[in-house]
A and B are shown apart, each in its own frame.
Chain A
């Protein structure tokens, strides 16, 4: 059965190439659709569009929290209940689209809690809209430069354009899938997401480099044996990344870590397909073309 799958993978890699391309097209479509329906390619959180975030830990769940939130700061608000990963209630995260002062937040939290809330009982993040826009612009530039530099490195080590393009393309594909899935889940991207995407780029490069070295650089054994060997290696790597990301996602009560974990989780799953079918397929096409 497994042998059969390998045979199919060996012979029909061109047909298989269609799968990641369809997936890519689908999530690319989701992103474009989001652009047309909301005006942005993806939802941005406060760190990228400006506003206030408030973290407030309390011992017991409070009543009427969502009414209080909209009464206090209107419709452009979001409520996240933080729970302890090991069970139990922890507190709340509030996101407000406007900029609030510490005193204002303190006063409103006191109303909610029915007692005087002290200065050091809550955390508050306030982001001006223009600085958030600047963060966003910088992030896009950073990611684009990172892709470019990564492609150049691949070009330098493999001395040819196709592996460099296929490695970069498969990494870009990972990013597109991640953003598409986040759009479907309704999860906004934050400044922390940029870090997570860069982390993903790093991990994705590891697997792509491994594969490219096996397909292009090495000459011993047969191609399929080399692929089989690196598949086991790659699977261990992916499994480690996927389980670590899952553990992070399930156990953390820090929003920033949770969003990083989610991106890594989606990305590492998508990377298996993009490395083994997309990147490998493109490189084999190239090898075949070179032989002719």
Chain B
């Protein structure tokens, strides 16, 4: 009889069970797909609405898919009040419907604008690649070699411009290949090549306004300091007293050069302002400097003006701010620099590769992959069944393989790996190795017939020598691929490595223990 004490001791098997449950929660299969996924939020939508939420109701009209979303949208006129309800998951598979604050629809390009960019609600947390969901992948190269600061700034400006299109969470990465060539990789679900051209070439209509008057335009920003070389850009800790005690804050400062005309206009506008709010750090003018692009207020683009700038002609202005940590200060500074530069890109970029992927072909790919995987599992099960002619052996092997697929997908969901075709192939590779290892373990354990003297434990130990050796070799052979830039099937290396690690740490020891229990006598 299995006692509780013995069950507790089977930690290898427990670990396996925990892994399965954790992976299933991470993958979150069978998510309800009633509603539309919020992919981006723009003015005038309120900030409570965030990308990733699922919208279910607009002005009492239920939203179940993109069609009903568009129907609901068509009933709204500019100036109408918009009430949006969205779903939030409180605990796994328990959803609560929340309501965002009501807001007014605006008009943009003769159409009603409610600032919500939506897509199809996903049925799980797995993040499938563009080959499967459709979209556009671009690889761009700068026209000259960039320093680290310049590349950070470029990425920030690109993200800023993407935000202005309402596209948040679009992966923008700076990659370098093994020969040192630099690239920017952008992946949009559902965007077209025209959107990318717009992103790269469009000159935005940038304005800094005080009240209703324009203080300066994008053309009048002569330079934004991003390197600290021959211009000011600093981040330093400062001690601030707060409620009687001293706390460390990080203050940042960077220089923005304006044309003489703009500086003059700025001085005129500020000289008319009276003093508004005062804090421990000093007093500010009653109106903020607000940054607009194409007539839209940029998110976080409202800057307070200290009283010292009132009526001053500043051709070399300083933008300053303070944040709780060094990282926050850095991020905030980069963002503001990017906003001020968002009229145009700091360097020109050339498109080196474009992939536009059709969603309908992608769907077909997904079906085909499912078919191939299903048949492959059946064939492997048949081979294992024929070889061992025992369900006691075959079933655990097949189960472990399925567990490994699920847990690799689970970890991929946790880390946020994009499952493109190469990543799926990587899962296949790790499953192949897994099968090999289990055959090795099984054969070692079953080989007891002619060598009774050797215990199962000893034979398992020998099997694990091979497993660990093969793991190490397999893992290190993936390392160069995982670190190569420019996106050469990196997904392949990542999923293979995840699969191999899960295998050697959790599933293989569990399988060994299962064998030990099954064949102890």
Contact = CB atoms under 8 A, between A and B. Distances in A.
A and B, one complex? yes
Interface of A: 55, 57, 85, 90, 101-102, 119-128, 130-131, 134-135, 137-139, 141-142, 145-147, 149-150, 152-154, 156-157, 191-192, 194-196, 198-199, 201-203, 205-207, 209-210, 213, 217-218, 220-221, 225, 229-230, 232-233, 236-237, 239-241, 243-244, 247-248, 251-254, 256-257, 260
Contacts of A201: 477
A142 B436 contact: no
Nearest to B489: A195
Contacts of A241: 432
B364 A127 contact: no
A243 B378 CA distance: 11
B375 A157 contact: no
Given A199-B425, A205-B477, A240-B435, A123 B375 contact: no
Contact of A121 (B358, B371, B450): B358
B470 A125 contact: no
Which secondary structure dominates where chain B touches chain A? helix
A142 B480 contact: yes
B241 interface: no
A45 to B, nearest CB: 14
Interface residues of B, number: 76
Contact of B439 (A195, A220, A225, A233): A233
Contact of B425 (A90, A101, A207, A260): A260
Contacts of B451: 220-221
A57 B40 CA distance: 31
A73 to B, nearest CB: 17
A256 B469 CA distance: 30
Which secondary structure dominates where chain A touches chain B? helix
B178 interface: yes
B433 interface: yes
B89 interface: no
Interface stretch (B69-77, B340-348, B349-357, B506-514): B349-357
A93 to B, nearest CB: 11
Contacts of B355: 123-126
B421 A254 contact: yes
Contacts of A252: 368-369, 372
A198 B380 CA distance: 22
B361 A213 contact: no
B313 interface: no
Given A195-B425, A202-B496, A240 B383 contact: yes
A153 B473 contact: yes
A244 B422 CA distance: 17
Given A145-B479, A233-B443, A239-B383, 18 more contacts: A55-B361, A57-B364, A125-B354, A131-B141, A137-B179, A141-B178, A149-B480, A195-B492, A202-B429, A202-B474, A202-B478, A203-B436, A213-B462, A213-B469, A236-B443, A247-B379, A257-B372, A257-B421
B410 to A, nearest CB: 22
B379 to A, nearest CB: 5
A253 B368 contact: yes
Contacts of B371: 85, 251
Contacts of A131: 139, 141, 181, 183, 352-353, 486
A196 B484 CA distance: 16
A48 to B, nearest CB: 10
25 contacts: A55-B358, A57-B361, A124-B357, A137-B179, A141-B480, A141-B484, A142-B481, A142-B484, A146-B479, A157-B469, A195-B422, A195-B425, A203-B433, A206-B440, A213-B462, A217-B465, A220-B451, A229-B447, A233-B439, A236-B384, A244-B380, A252-B369, A252-B372, A254-B421, A256-B425
A195 B476 contact: no
Contacts of A213: 462, 465-466, 469
Nearest to B138: A126
Nearest to A121: B358
A251 B193 CA distance: 32
